[in-house]
Amino acid sequence: MALDPPPDISSLALFIDVDGTLLEIAPTPLAVRVDPELTELLRGLLLGTGGALALVSGRSIAVLDALFRPLVLCSAGLHGFERRNASGLYESRRLPAAAALDKVRRALLELANQHPGLHVEDKRFALALHYRRVPHLESMVVRAMTDIAAGVRPEFELQLGKMVTELRPAGSTKGVAVSKFMAEPPFQGRFPIYIGDDLTDESAFEWVNGAGGRSIAVNVSSATAARERLPSVTAVRAWLAQIRGASSLSR
């Protein structure tokens, strides 16, 4: 069922996940590309919302900036571990211990060496193990990552996702990141909308639901806290283009 766009873009606070939401998921994280049409769509939404648009991603802010250049957007990276607000202020949670990071890095690289097709994504303060190219290894990967996580608590916690497992700094969630944005201008006092596609987005769905906003899951067939759904990245972009178009017509 098609979703009706909200009537007034100038009253919105938009929070959007990246991979699987704005961009199709690629075989490896480095394989994604941002097309000019998406850049222009985000530019229009940024103008229409008066800057109340934020990317909320498992990627780092540095990687988001490189992907969406020349746009510099409000961003929450590494599932909320780091955040940059509308004034350009950067903040992060307490850095994990270097020894714990090294331990995780060595363990993941060893797994990848033992099982060709696994891909280690080093996000500096978090590490992910992708198994999209070897989906039959899912059970083994989850068991191994659970064991690794047990050895690096309380510094890290295990995060499951679509064909990926990740060890991220404990206490970092997308829901907390959204709540911090909503306490600051230009998001403050606006109607929040969160769009995401994965388990990492559930905390943000729950926060937005509690705030009376709209939570939208993308290509999700399993149980979710999101109250609305869109079937694909293409549908997300089309829906956002409707919002942008309504803004243009109202001027």
Which distant-in-sequence residues (6+ apart) come within 8 Å of 140 by Cβ? 115
95-134 CB burial, b ≥16 within 10 A, e <16: ebeeebbebbeebbeebbeeeeebbbbebebbbbbbbbeb
Q: What is the Cβ-side half-sphere exposure of residue 203, based on CA atoms within 13 angstroms?
A: 15
Q: Which tokens hold the place of 158? A: 């295990």
**Residue 17 designated active-site:** yes
Q: Is 105:122 a contact under the CB 8 Å cutoff?
A: yes
Q: Helix, strand or coil for residue 158?
A: strand
Q: Read off the DSSP letter of residue 19.
A: B
Helix (H) and strand (E) counts in the chain: 7, 12
Which among 4, 8, 17, 197 is annotated as catalytic? 17
- Scan for tokens 């990926």, then name that residue: 164
Active site residues: 17
